Amino acid sequence: MSEHITVLSALNRLLKQPEATAGAMAKGVPVSTAVFLAGALGCFAIYGLAAGFFQGDLQIVIASLKAPVIVFGTALLCLPSFYVFTSLAGSELSPARTIGMLAGFCAVLGLLMTGMLPVAWLFSVSTRSILFVFWMHLIMWFAALVFARNYLRVAFPSLPERRVLRLWILMFVLVSFQMTTHLRPVLWRDPDQGVFSAGKMSFFEHFRAMNAAAFRDPKAMAQGRAAD
Amino acid sequence: MNLSAAELFDGPSRHHVIEDLCRGQRLGRHALVFVLVIAGFGGLYGAVLGLWRSPLLGFYVAVKFPLLLITTALLTSVFNWMAASALGLALRYTQVAVMMLFALAIAAVVLGSVAPIAWFMTMSAPPPASSARTVHNILYLLHTGMVGSAGIAGTLFLSKVLNVVADRRRSLKIYAVWILSFALTGGEVAWLLRPFVGSVYHPVVFIRADSYQRNVYEFVGSDILPHLLSSITEDPCQNTSPCSQP
């Protein structure tokens, strides 16, 4: 119980005082990376749960499991470039502290997504069009990233080359898209479809195909909801 | 002798390296570190680069990619040393050669750091087949973009070195000439050492038998540009003939 409160208080501090938290981490004050990771895990699981309400039933559980995997998988793949890019740009943080900063970034992202959770849930349970919820989640993801970028700015206040952070976030976004495509379907699964789709696909191809299908036959795309 | 790639990551250590390069001190030691860094990080990226076509090509490119970077550094060093001298910057040849290795070691580190992302993107792409020409082209462009961006990042550190040893106007001129020689030479060395991504129309080999025929700029001028222009002007549905592959 006390650990649960610690996670909440750490996330609360991260949200309200990002400069103080990031500054403390940069100075070597031990802030548990695990606390931030646990917080991010919880936030994204809850967000995935809300997103899963679009289809309902088992997809609620599947989406709540997939959402944290998408974010953590992306963060893991982008971790080496995060360390190298910030180091080459002038950061003097150790690898361990850089991991802590990245965990903080994930936690901030998770908190922001959780803040939008009621809206996501409301539209998920009431919308029939997968195209609408797709764009809604995409816009929310972008909004969270814009605000989370401020955390990185305060986390690296003396970084001479800020452009690398923008470049890294762009890579993070692209990898998150590909990770989502890799772990598809997240929002909607046909009755005869497995938890994961077979076949390799780029995110560009996936997004384009989904949008094209939804425009071509919006009723078919919302068939599952209509039948409910 | 403590050799560590960390001196490229760590700001103060990197500053000492730049000071040494400017003064021409401990050049042999730095050259050794840079070559090892290029072999390690460049090899890692190379393995990912060739992995889409086959694991064998991944192994080949893991060997060829560091070779590409080191060969480019050595081939450009002579001209770059002369160009710097002609523009009024008197550096020793070994200084310039190690500076070239320094820039490409930074580029290799950047590429090594994005190797997990490149691996994930490669593994998510449809497998190589005769119908996968578009995937090949996308991967080709993706890797070209990554290598080009990493090369620019590496040369930005060269400009830092030049800013120490020359006034701003002169350092800018030398930097522009060095970048141009890197791009021209690197492109041609890569052409000679192809395949890297691996065309779906050719078997996997270490170096193609026809690698010394034509050059990359001739190929771009005689194949790529005419094909692109014809694609723009013609109806895409009518254009079904395959063009030559790099």
Q: Do B124 and A171 touch (CB under 8 A)?
A: no
* Cβ contact A170:A206 at 8 Å: no
In this complex, which of A77, A80, A84 lies closest to B120 when CB atoms are compared? A77
In this complex, which of A88, A92, A181 lies closest to B106 when CB atoms are compared? A88
Cβ-based neighbours of B210, under 8 Å, separated by 6 or more? none
Average pLDDT of chain A is 84
pLDDT at A227: 34
Q: Averaged over A198-224, what is the pLDDT? A: 70
pLDDT at A141: 95
Question: Cβ of B112 under 8 Å from any chain A Cβ?
Answer: yes
pLDDT in tens, chain B (246 residues): 555 667 777 777 888 888 888 888 889 999 999 999 999 999 999 999 999 999 999 999 999 999 999 999 999 999 999 999 999 888 899 999 999 999 999 999 999 999 999 999 988 888 887 777 777 777 888 888 899 899 999 998 888 889 888 888 899 999 999 999 998 899 889 989 988 888 888 888 898 888 877 777 777 777 666 765 775 665 544 444 443 444
In this complex, which of A81, A84, A92 lies closest to B11 when CB atoms are compared? A92
For chain A, percent of residues with pLDDT exceeding 90: 39
Q: Do A85 and B113 touch (CB under 8 A)?
A: yes
Find, among B171, B161, B27, B159, the residue nearest to B93 by Cα. B27
Higher pLDDT residue, B13 or A41? A41
Domain assignment present for residue B240? The answer is no
Q: Which residues of A touch B (CB under 8 A)?
A: 76-81, 83-85, 87-88, 90-92, 171, 175, 178-179, 181-182, 199-202
Higher pLDDT residue, A15 or B77? B77
Look at A56-60, A70-74, A107-111, B35-39 and tell me which has the smallest mean pLDDT.
A56-60
For residue A64, give both structure tokens.
Answer: 């709540």
- Disruptive mutation site among A77, A92, A177, A204 for chain B (greatest number of B CBs within 10 Å): A77
* Cβ contact A48:A65 at 8 Å: yes
What's the CA gap between A95 and A84, in Å, rounded? 9
* Cβ contact A18:A155 at 8 Å: yes
For residue A195, give both structure tokens.
Answer: 């938890």
Query: In terms of CA atoms, which chain B residue is nearest residue A74?
Result: B117
Domain assignment present for residue B19? The answer is yes
pLDDT at B241: 41
Q: Do B10 and A178 touch (CB under 8 A)?
A: no
Query: In terms of CA atoms, which chain B residue is nearest residue A75?
Result: B117
Cis peptide before A185 (omega within 30 of 0): yes
Domain assignment present for residue B239? The answer is no
pTM: 0.84
Return the amino acid letter for B101: L
Q: For residue B127, which residues of chain A lie inside 8 Å, CB to CB?
A: 200
pLDDT at B228: 58
pLDDT at A138: 94
Query: In terms of CA atoms, which chain A residue is nearest residue B114?
Result: A81
Domain assignment present for residue B243? The answer is no
When divided into structural domains, chain B yields a total of 1
Domain assignment present for residue B209? The answer is yes
For residue A3, give both structure tokens.
Answer: 């650990």
What's the CA gap between B108 and B113, in Å, rounded? 9
What's the CA gap between B162 and B156, in Å, rounded? 10
pLDDT at B240: 42
Q: For residue B113, which residues of chain A lie inside 8 Å, CB to CB?
A: 80-81, 83-85
Domain assignment present for residue B88? The answer is yes
pLDDT reading at A160 higher than 80: no
Return the amino acid letter for B229: L
pLDDT reading at A37 higher than 60: yes
Give per-residue pLDDT as tens, A106-141. Answer: 999 999 999 999 999 999 988 878 888 999 999 999
Query: Domain range spanning residue B72?
Result: 2-232
For chain A, percent of residues with pLDDT exceeding 70: 89
Give per-residue pLDDT as tens, A94-113. Answer: 888 889 889 999 999 999 99
Q: At what angle do helices A130-155 and A203-216 cross, to 10 degrees?
A: 150
Sign of the Cα torsion B186, B190, B196, B199 reads: positive
| Long-range pairs of B125-134 with CB within 8 A, sequence gap ≥ 24 | B125/A200, B125/A202, B125/B52, B126/A199, B126/A200, B126/A201, B127/A200, B128/B52, B128/B53, B128/B54, B128/B198, B128/B200, B129/B200, B130/B200, B130/B201, B132/B200, B133/B200, B133/B242, B133/B245
What's the CA gap between B233 and B229, in Å, rounded? 6
Give per-residue pLDDT as tens, B126-174. Answer: 888 777 777 777 788 888 889 989 999 999 888 888 988 888 889 999 9
Judged by DSSP in three states, A57 sits in coil
What's the CA gap between B203 and B218, in Å, rounded? 23
Higher pLDDT residue, A38 or A204? A38
Please report, for chain A, the start and end positions of each structural domain, with discontinuous segments joined by +: 7-222
What's the CA gap between A10 and A3, in Å, rounded? 10
| Helix intervals (H) in chain A | 2-16, 18-26, 33-52, 58-88, 95-115, 117-126, 130-155, 163-182, 203-216, 218-221, 223-227
Q: Do B11 and A200 touch (CB under 8 A)?
A: no
What's the CA gap between B241 and A132, in Å, rounded? 40
Question: Cβ of B5 under 8 Å from any chain A Cβ?
Answer: no
* Cβ contact B114:B75 at 8 Å: no
pLDDT at A186: 85
Give per-residue pLDDT as tens, B222-234. Answer: 766 676 577 566 5
Judged by DSSP in three states, A189 sits in coil
Q: Do B109 and A84 touch (CB under 8 A)?
A: yes
Question: Cβ of B236 under 8 Å from any chain A Cβ?
Answer: no
pLDDT at B105: 94
Phi-psi region of B88 (alpha: psi -120 to 50; beta: other; left: phi over 0): left
Q: Residue B236, CB half-sphere, CA atoms under 13 Å: how many?
A: 2
Q: Do B126 and A200 touch (CB under 8 A)?
A: yes
Q: Do B117 and A175 touch (CB under 8 A)?
A: yes
Cβ-based neighbours of B69, under 8 Å, separated by 6 or more? B38, B42, B104, B107, B108
